Structure 1
Amino acid sequence: MSFDAVIDVKNVSKRFGGLVAVDDCSLRVERGSITGLIGPNGAGKSTLFNLVAGNIVPDSGQILFNGADVTGLSPHRLFGRGMLRTFQIAHEFSNMTALENLMMVPADQPGESLLTTWLKPGAVRAADAQVRRRALDVIDFLKLGHVKDELAGNLSGGQKKLLELGRTMMVDAKAVLLDEVAAGVNKTLLNDLAANIERMNTELGYTFFVIEHDMDLIGRLCDPVIVMAQGRVIAEGPMSEIRQNPEIVEAYFGSPVTVEATS
């Protein structure tokens, strides 16, 4: 099978003063995959994620997205190209309903222009109706219909994570970066969240790049799993192989039998 990288990180480095957070790191995220990124605290995972997402600029190296050089592009420009990110702490509009949160996502809506609102009210209403239909479809897909009119600030942690996932479905996402999706989510909603990620991957063709400390979730969702340590990739493969690698298990998970989550 040919390798088609949506995200291609090439020899990227990032320093913060005397600290080398990412050290000549290279990795690729294959189109249509759910790729996991794990490793001990201080391995450079979060910094690498921020580099890919455009939150910080690398000191050296190159980041490609769909074959185009996007090194140093800002998050909103990456958003326009189809790279979206969710956060460990959900970033909802708390005083708007769940449905309204989804309707806010698509960029360049006609209603954003005061002139268009005055001169073409029919076009604005038609566009709003189309966005609303899409939002309702997303609500239905995620089984959030019972909270669609609830203020987003009143939702549970798991429901907010589902809503963030839904926001990625409101645009033509080419890749979704999931940052600690399990944080603050109870086991029941986490199972729903994982199932929806799987459905988005298999049914809708979404590509996911996942940074996560919950090894059970990584094992369920991700193939391949990339292991980082000291700013570099040290291993890559299916979780079954990662679990059986004595060096990785002993050095980064502290047990030869069970892979424990690291902080």
Structure 2
Amino acid sequence: MKNDNMIEVKGVSKSFGGLKAVSDCSLQVEKGSITGLIGPNGAGKTTLFNIVAGTLMPDQGQIIFDGEDVTALKPHELHAKGMLRTFQIAHEFSAMTALENLMVAASEQPGESLFQSWFNIKHVTDFDLEVRKMALDVIDFLHLGHVKNELAGNLSGGQKKLLELGRTMMTDAKAVLLDEVAAGVNKTLLKDLASNIQRMNRELGYTFFVIEHDMDLIAELCDPVIVMAQGTKIAEGPMEDIRNNPEIVEAYFGTAVEAAS
């Protein structure tokens, strides 16, 4: 039977001591979608993201990725299967150029093998030329040509976020988890960032799962939007419906917020 979901969260719970951060949470991220995840502080969004990304193990429940149970897999194993995550604070190689940051992200480079480096130098060299061409294509796609030779540590917050997006394009990614993509990004670059996410979704077929506090950005990018409160999903739908849902207004401005503060 055909499965239209890229990510499925099935009955996931996670506690830290006496605090139940995620409670019997189930949700789906459809293939080819840009799905948003919102909720008040303390709703369990980041904990759930960490479980999906493999940095935390759930106490119970399952994570299904592209039809496969990946609950027990580590982040590097999920990366190999095509699930990537970006972070609120960009993790660039600051002493390398923007172009070099993209080149090192390419998967299965033969130069990483001592045998290949010694006995198959032509193959390594040819592969490096292909990776460089691919990285330059990504630079052009993201309109970062003017900073391609700049040290990544000198880039602005928004440029670093674009560079993180570019690194996902250097791999065989199927789905990208975006954690607070707007954090530290000025309004001008945020428009570029949003536009590139939409282009990667539309032109390259990437599925995105997005945690974000900027409701205008969520409204621009995401459909559907999933709402969490007190560790579980309470609503899902277009942003217009979400904003007009009394239960969600209560979650943000009523008892759920008071309980989380």
**Distance in 1 of aligned mates of 2:65 and 2:84:** 12
Instruction: Note the C-alpha offset of 1:172.
Output: 1.2
Instruction: Note the C-alpha offset of 1:3.
Output: 6.5
SS of the equivalent of 1:61 reads strand
Task: Please name the residue that 2:23 is paired with.
Answer: 23
SS of the equivalent of 1:7 reads strand
Instruction: Note the C-alpha offset of 1:249.
Output: 1.9
| Structure 2: runs of 5 or more not aligned | 255-260
**Distance in 2 of aligned mates of 1:120 and 1:253:** 63
Measured against aligned partners, the alpha-carbon deviations of 1:185-237 in whole angstroms (never above 9, x if no partner) come to 00000000000001011111110000000000000000000000010000000
Task: Please name the residue that 2:53 is paired with.
Answer: 53
Task: Please name the residue that 1:245 is paired with.
Answer: 245
How many positions carry a matched residue from both structures? 255
Is the CA contact 2:3–2:67 (under 8 Å) kept in the aligned structure 1?
A: no
Task: Please name the residue that 1:257 is paired with.
Answer: none
- Note the 1:6-85 alignment, pairs <5 A: 6-85=6-85
Measured against aligned partners, the alpha-carbon deviations of 1:167-196 in whole angstroms (never above 9, x if no partner) come to 010011110000000000000000000000
**Distance in 2 of aligned mates of 1:25 and 1:219:** 23
**Distance in 2 of aligned mates of 1:159 and 1:11:** 37
Task: Please name the residue that 2:111 is paired with.
Answer: 111
Task: Please name the residue that 1:136 is paired with.
Answer: 136
Q: CA RMSD in A?
A: 1.4
- Note the 1:152-231 alignment, pairs <5 A: 152-231=152-231
SS of the equivalent of 2:185 reads coil
Instruction: Note the C-alpha offset of 1:112.
Output: 0.9
- Note the 1:83-122 alignment, pairs <5 A: 83-122=83-122
Instruction: Note the C-alpha offset of 1:67.
Output: 0.4
SS of the equivalent of 1:223 reads coil
TM-score by length of 2: 0.95
Is the CA contact 2:10–2:25 (under 8 Å) kept in the aligned structure 1?
A: yes
SS of the equivalent of 2:202 reads helix
Q: Percent identity?
A: 76
Instruction: Note the C-alpha offset of 1:114.
Output: 2.0
Instruction: Note the C-alpha offset of 1:113.
Output: 1.5
Instruction: Note the C-alpha offset of 1:165.
Output: 0.5
| Structure 1: runs of 5 or more not aligned | 255-262
**Distance in 2 of aligned mates of 1:250 and 1:219:** 19
What residue identity is the alignment partner of 2:133?
Answer: R
Task: Please name the residue that 1:124 is paired with.
Answer: 124
**Distance in 1 of aligned mates of 2:246 and 2:219:** 17
What residue identity is the alignment partner of 1:152?
Answer: A
Is the CA contact 1:227–1:235 (under 8 Å) kept in the aligned structure 2?
A: yes
**Distance in 1 of aligned mates of 2:116 and 2:250:** 62
What residue identity is the alignment partner of 1:109?
Answer: Q
What residue identity is the alignment partner of 1:53?
Answer: A
**Displacement over 4 Å in runs of 4+:** none
